[in-house]
């Protein structure tokens, strides 16, 4: 039962991420929300990989057990990739946000919409 908390945490992280994406209007805040969304997905994968009474999938550190029991390695590999991708994406989005600010002197989506119509 206690371990179910992990899933709940994942759901809440995703929920907060999506809610912020929908209701906040600051471009940088949106990037933070995306990062939280990605953290939620990452935690979800790692939670899926977890196995009770198992060791990390590294033989160097594993104790000498009669039956080999390790957590699943694939999700960990995928998440390694996804973390770097998430970092790269957020860096690019922040660069865009900086340029938007240079051109329009605002980071608010509502004001940016007004600029679009007038130009």
Partner 1 sequence: MKLGSLLSLVLILGFLFVAVLRLHPVGQPLGHPGVMKDRGSAVTDTANIFTMDDYYIRNGQAETGSNNIVASVVFDYRGFDTLGEATVLFLVVSSISMLMYTILKQKKIKKDHFFKIYNFPTDISRIISFGPYLLYPIIIIFGAYLVAHGHLSPGGGFQGGAVMASGTALLLISSLFTIHIQRVRRVFSFFESLGLAIYIGLGFAGIGTSFLHNFLAQGNPLFLGRAIPFGPNPGYLNSAGLLPLLSLAIGIEVFFGISVILVTMYHVAMDGDIKDAQES
Partner 2 sequence: MITPVIFIILCLAIIITAVLSLYFKDLVACVVSYSVLSLVLTVVYFYLDAPDVAIAEAAIGAALTICIFIIAIILTRRHEE
Partner 3 sequence: MTDNFPVLIIALPLLVAFILPIVSRAGVKPRNILVFLVILAVNIMLLSLVPEVMIRGKILYSVIGSADPARVVPEGLTFPVRIVLRVDGFSLFMALLSGFFSLVCFIFSLRFIPEHGRKNYYVLLFLLMMTGMLGLEFTNDLFNFFVFLEILSISGAALVSYRTDRSHPPYAGYKYLLVSTIATSFFLLGVALCYAQYGSLNMEYIHRFMNHTLLDRMALVFMLAALAMKAGAAPMHMWVPDTYSEAPAPVTAMLVISSQASLYGLFRICFTLFGNPISRDTINYHTLGWIIIIMGVLSMFVGVTMALVQHDVKRLMAFHSVSQTGYLLMGIGVGVAVYTLNDGGAAYNSYGRVAMAGGIFHIMNYSISKGLLFLTAGVMFRRFGTCDLDRMTGMAHRDTVTTAVFIIGALAISGIPPFNAFSSKLLLYESVYRFSPVLSIIAMFVSVLTLASFTKVFYSAFLGPCRSDILVDEEPLPAGMIAGMTIMAAAIIVTGFLPSHTLNLLVDPAISGLVTIF
Q: Within 13 Å of residue 76, how many CA atoms lie on the same side as its CB? A: 10
Our CB check for partner 2 shows the closer of 64 and 76 to be 76
Instruction: Pull the structure tokens for residue 4.
Output: 């179910």
Quote the CA–CA distance of 10 and 14 in Å, as a whole number: 6
Q: Is there binding between residue 42 and partner 2 (CB under 8 A)?
A: yes
Quote the CA–CA distance of 76 and 79 in Å, as a whole number: 5
Residues at the site binding partner 3, with contacts judged by CB under 8 A = 14, 21, 27, 30, 34, 37-38, 41, 44-45, 48, 72, 74-75, 78, 81-82, 85, 88-89, 92-93, 96-97, 99-100, 103-104, 112, 115-116, 119
Determine the 3-state secondary structure of 86 from DSSP. Answer: helix
Q: Determine phi and psi for 115, rounding to 5 degrees.
A: -60, -40
Binding residues (CB under 8 A) for partner 2: these are 2-3, 5-6, 8-9, 12-13, 16, 20, 24, 26, 28-29, 31-33, 35-36, 39, 42-43, 46-47, 49-58, 70-71, 76, 79-80, 83-84, 87, 90-91, 94-95, 97-98, 101, 107-108
């Amino acid at each position: 039962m206690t371990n179910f908390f992990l899933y709940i945490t994942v759901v809440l992280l995703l929920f907060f991420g999506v809610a912020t994406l929908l209701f906040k209007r600051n471009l940088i805040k949106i990037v933070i929300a995306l990062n939280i969304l990605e953290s939620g997905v990452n935690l979800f994968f790692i939670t899926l990989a977890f196995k009770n009474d198992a060791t990390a999938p590294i033989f160097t550190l594993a104790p000498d057990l009669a039956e080999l029991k390790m957590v699943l390695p694939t999700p960990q590999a995928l998440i390694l990739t996804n973390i770097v991708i998430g970092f790269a994406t957020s860096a690019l989005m922040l660069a865009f946000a900086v340029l938007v600010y240079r051109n329009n002197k605002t980071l608010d989506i509502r004001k940016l919409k007004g600029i679009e119509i007038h130009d």
